[in-house]
A = this chain, B = another copy of it.
Amino acid sequence: MDLWTLSATQPTRELASRLTVSNGLIGIKDLAEIPQLQAVPMTDTVAYVNGFYDYEPIQYGEAQFGFPQRNQTMIPLPAPTQLQLWLDDVAVDLNQGQVIDQHYALDMRTGQFTHTLIWEATATGQQLKIKIDRLTSLHMAALMGQRLTVEALNFKIGKLRVVAGLHATATAKSTAFDPRLAHYDPHDILDHQEVSQPTPDIRGLSLNALHSDQQLSLFVHYDQPGQWVDDGNWTGEFAFEQGKVSLTKTVWFALGTTSLPEAATDGLKTSFEALAQVQTADLQQFWATSDIKISGDEASQLGIRFSQFGLLQALGGHQGSHGIAAKGLTGSGYNGHYFWDTEIYEAPFFYWNHPELARRLLLVRYQQLPHAKTYAQSLGLAGALFPWRTINGEESSAYFPASTAAIHIDADVAYLVIRYFQITHDAAFMRDYGLEILIETSRFYLDYGNFDAQKGFVLNTVTGPDEYTALVNNNAYTNYLVQFELRYLTDHYDQRTVGHFKVSNQEWARFKKAADEMYFETQGDLIAQDDSFLSKKRLDLSRIPRDQFPLLTHYHPLVLYRLQVLKQADLILAMVLLPEQFTDQQVQTNYDYYEPITTHDSSLSPAIYAIAAARLGKYAGAIDFFKRTINTDLENLQGNTADGLHLAAMGGSWITFAWGLMGLEIDDQHATLHPYLPTGWTQCAFKLQYRGTVYAITVTPADLTVTGAVGDEVTIDQASRTIQIQATKQF
């Protein structure tokens, strides 16, 4: 079994999501490049450009003041991958022949998608082996390359005609837009495309998003002689020499311009072989500091790699300034919006393996800060409130009880600022960007909350992570994260350090006081999810039929909000993010209380319970949750992989492995690990980057070893199976 490759023979909508190639900027999803060779139903044929969106007005039955007025939607474009072939003027289709072999693969070492099939002409028995290789370049993010290779298997002389392009086939147009996934019909803008010819062998296609007025240009190059056709297609004719024809198409996606960018000319003329070589080299580098090697469990090995590869594909390399959409660039689910998933679920992989990429994610938030200040102001509040869902930084949510009210988004961003800094000690980042985020979000909280005479600092009328509960007072997760932020800020800085943010002595004192007096409703070790949660009626999940899950598709919010039932980890997530603040007994008590009423209807849930279970030594449960998380899309466990991959679960896979099984924790001075090797795993090796050093850690049943350390940075206690890495490097 090749544990670096996903492969399959049957095209499905789920497979199309899994085998999407993307690089953070562009995503190409197409299993049906030659639609004439596909039996219905067709799978999705679509391309995405991160940051290319249109607006649509949000409709409300009853609008209230301050509700967002327009939505952003990532525009689903027809994939520029479509082909139509003729062999000696006979259409290569299912009327004139049959497909006698078909194979799909995505190789995570080369970053290449490959689609191979053999077509046999009914009339002549001639067989063509058709191979399509595709990649989206990690090196030049705007570039997609696709190579068509056609081989004459059982004949020598023949003529192949190829038509390629956005409009290569009639069906391509109809499958690009799936109304189940997006309200946005891309044909509205495609009908207004403009064709240009910047050089004789490069053709441009410029689109204008109707309402956002954003521009996108696709520049196309073919490496063989051929002709441009009026409708934007290209056509070429080839004789089989040495029995083989090869045609490479490159496409450069230029956002915000109609002119051919300088870099594009060279990029477009790069051969597929050269593109592939660079791609492989880039991936070698990626895996060098992030591969996890598991011996003894092939499914987990493939699953964890698929998760890491998916995270890389969603974010890409060092270029660009876009966030990670909930589905990455693999589908139209959630309209291409970025959520808190990024900071809490996806960022940990990056800050522990590729901190420079985590920094990129933080810069995206920093760019959103002006919008976030405006948004807070529009609610009559100080500081900044980050949007619950967005592409361009504007709030794009139409249901505030489960969006704007989820003010923990600010503390989630702050959490990433702090963790990133603890791991990297990137002082320049903190000075130039991080502190401002911490100050403005703290300001927001101090204005949103208030000091109550009985309780202390309270944050009323909020929604926590659990979306089956809304508009409550003192959601514990929110309060813990806000307390962590305020305490970190006031413990590590003083009012003078942050003077340029116009923080008065009085404001600073209130930050401290709010952290000290943060309110939590408790009953002994049991911490209430919010002030009223414990007095709600407990829902007995065992009495609900399987087909009524996820509950949100069968119950009105008033039923769910009224009862003790969780969509996903809430308080337990706070315990996982801030493990040092809770005793094992507390984790145990709350795990026992909350787990039975958690539906895990959200893909964000199992990973978190896995980590808590691992801490408690409930390893069977932890492994079970771990497998659920890594298989979310490989086994279509949420039933909607067709709409795109669950990036939060991919991030969740990594934290389940690292925080859960390997017991990774962090504070200002140390990183510590308490590795656990699941039954069947004979060895496990992985890497972490901490304060600029890459540590390679190997875990066997008998032994823990760490390489990469300089001096006495690392202490290993084999008896208690604990590794401690001391933060000695200062920058």
Instruction: Decide: A535 near B473, CB < 8 A? Known: A461-B562, A558-B461.
Output: yes
Q: Does A98 contact B (CB under 8 A)?
A: no
Residues of B within 8 A of A448 (CB): 562
How far apart are the CA atoms of A577 and B81 in the complex, in Å? 71
Of B64, B536, B553, B554, the residue contacting A552 (CB under 8 A) is B64
Cβ 8 A contact of A66, one of B452, B536, B555: B555
- Contact indicator A61/B59 (Cβ below 8 Å): yes
Q: Is the CB of A22 closer than 8 A to any CB of chain B? A: no
User: Contact: A405 with B558, CB < 8 Å?
Assistant: yes
Question: Is A535 within 8 A of B452, CB to CB?
Answer: yes
Q: Say yes or no: B562 contacts A64, CB within 8 Å.
A: no
Q: Hey, which chain B residues are within 8 Å of A557, CB to CB?
A: 64-66, 400
Interface string of A589-623 (1 = CB under 8 A from B): 00000000000000000000000000000000000
Q: Does A118 reach chain B (CB closer than 8 Å)?
A: no
Bound form: Cα–Cα A381–B559 in Å: 9
User: What chain B residues lie within 8 Å of A458 (beta carbons)?
Assistant: 535
**Most-contacted residue by chain B among A64, A378, A452 (CB, 10 A):** A64
- In angstroms, Cα B357 to Cα A472, docked, is 43
CB distance from A379 to the nearest CB of B (A): 5
**B399, A64: Cβ atoms closer than 8 Å:** yes
Cα A279 to Cα B170 in complex, Å, equals 71
Whether B452 pairs with A558 at a CB distance below 8 angstroms is no
Interface membership of A460, Cβ < 8 A: yes
A554–B64 CA distance with the chains assembled, in angstroms: 9
Looking at the complex, which one of B397, B450, B473 makes contact with A532 (CB distance below 8 Å)? B473
Does A579 sit within 8 A of B, measured CB to CB? no
Is A71's beta carbon under 8 Å from chain B? Answer: yes
A665 interfacial contact with B, CB 8 Å: no
**Hey, which chain B residues are within 8 Å of A561, CB to CB?**
461, 471
B-contact 0/1 string along A356-394, CB 8 Å cutoff: 000000000000000000000011110000000000000
Closest chain B CB from A61 CB (angstroms):
2
Of all chain B residues, the one with the shortest Cβ separation from A404 is B558
Residues of B within 8 Å of A378, CB to CB, are 556
- Kindly state whether residue A262 has any CB partner on chain B within 8 Å: no
| Cβ 8 A contact of A555, one of B65, B401, B450, B455 | B65
Whether, in the assembled complex, A531 has its beta carbon less than 8 Å from a beta carbon of chain B, the answer is: yes
- The proximity string for A residues 49-86 relative to B, scoring 1 for CB distances below 8 Å and 0 otherwise, is 00000000011111011110001000000000000000
A557 to B400, CA, bound (A): 9
- Contacts of A445-474 to chain B: CB distance below 8 A: 448, 450, 452, 454-455, 458, 460-461, 470-471, 473
The residue from B67, B379, B401 contacting A401, defined by CB atoms under 8 A apart: B401
Residues on B with C-beta less than 8 A from A460 are 532, 535-537, 562
**Is there a chain B Cβ closer than 8 Å to A696's Cβ?**
no
Q: Distance (Å) between the CB of A599 and the closest chain B CB?
A: 14
Taking CB atoms, residues of chain B closer than 8 Å to A559 are 379-381
- A398 adjacent to chain B (CB < 8 Å): yes
What B residues does A381 contact at CB under 8 A? 559
Tell me the nearest residue of chain B to A470, going by C-beta. Answer: B471
CB distance from A581 to the nearest CB of B (A): 24
Nearest-neighbor residue (CB-CB) of A458 within chain B? B535
The quantity of this chain's copies bound in the complex is: 2
Q: Give A411-438 as 1s and 0s: 1 = Cβ < 8 Å from B's Cβ atoms.
A: 0000000000000000000000000000
A532 touches B535 (CB 8 A): no
CB–CB B552/A65 < 8 A: yes
CA distance A517 to B189 in the complex (A): 63
B65 touches A404 (CB 8 A): no
Chain B residues within 8 Å of A555, by CB: 65-66, 379-380
Q: Do A61 and B71 contact each other (CB < 8 Å), given the known contacts A379-B559, A461-B561, A535-B452?
A: yes
Q: For residue A386, give the distance in angstroms from its CB to the closest CB of chain B.
A: 15
The distance in angstroms between the C-alpha atoms of A67 and B553, with both chains bound, is 11
Q: Distance (Å) between the CB of A162 and the closest chain B CB?
A: 44
Q: Per-position contact with B for A543-559: 1 when CB-CB < 8 Å, else 0?
A: 00000000011111111
Q: With the chains together, A59 CA to B58 CA distance in Å?
A: 9
Residue of B nearest to A449 (CB): B537
**Most chain B CB atoms below 10 A, which of A60, A398, A535, A558:** A558
B residues in contact with A471, CB < 8 Å: 401, 470-471, 561
Interfacial chain B residues near A554, Cβ < 8 Å: 65
A379 neighbours in B (Cβ, 8 Å) = 555-556, 558-559
Look across to chain B and name the residue whose beta carbon is closest to the beta carbon of A389.
B62
Cβ contacts under 8 Å, A62 to chain B: 397-399, 402
What 0/1 pattern do residues 233 to 245 of A give for CB contact below 8 A with B?
0000000000000
A553 to B312, CA, bound (A): 45
User: In the complex, what residues of B have CB within 8 A of residue A64's CB?
Assistant: 399, 552, 556-557
Specify which of B401, B535, B556 is in contact with A380 (CB 8 Å cutoff).
Answer: B556
Complexed CA–CA distance, A399 and B65 (Å)? 13
CB distance from A567 to the nearest CB of B (A): 12
Q: Which residues of B contact A402 (CB under 8 A)?
A: 62
Within the assembled complex, what's the spacing in Å between the Cα atoms of A401 and B531? 19
List B contacts of A399 (CB < 8 A).
60-62, 64
Hey, which chain B residues are within 8 Å of A562, CB to CB? 448, 460-461
A190 smallest CB distance to B (angstroms): 25
Task: Report the minimal beta-carbon distance from A183 to chain B, rounded to whole angstroms.
Answer: 11
A-B contacts, 18 listed (Cβ < 8 Å): A59-B59, A60-B60, A61-B71, A61-B399, A62-B399, A65-B556, A66-B556, A379-B555, A380-B556, A380-B559, A381-B559, A400-B557, A400-B558, A460-B536, A461-B561, A470-B471, A473-B536, A531-B532
The 3 closest A-B CB pairs, nearest first, are A61-B398, A59-B59, A66-B556
Other CB < 8 Å A-B pairs besides A66-B556, A379-B558, A404-B558, 13 of them?
Answer: A58-B61, A59-B61, A60-B60, A61-B398, A62-B397, A65-B554, A66-B557, A455-B535, A460-B536, A473-B535, A531-B531, A531-B532, A532-B532
Residues in chain A within 8 A of chain B (CB atoms)? 58-62, 64-67, 71, 378-381, 397-402, 404-405, 448, 450, 452, 454-455, 458, 460-461, 470-471, 473, 531-532, 535-537, 552-559, 561-562
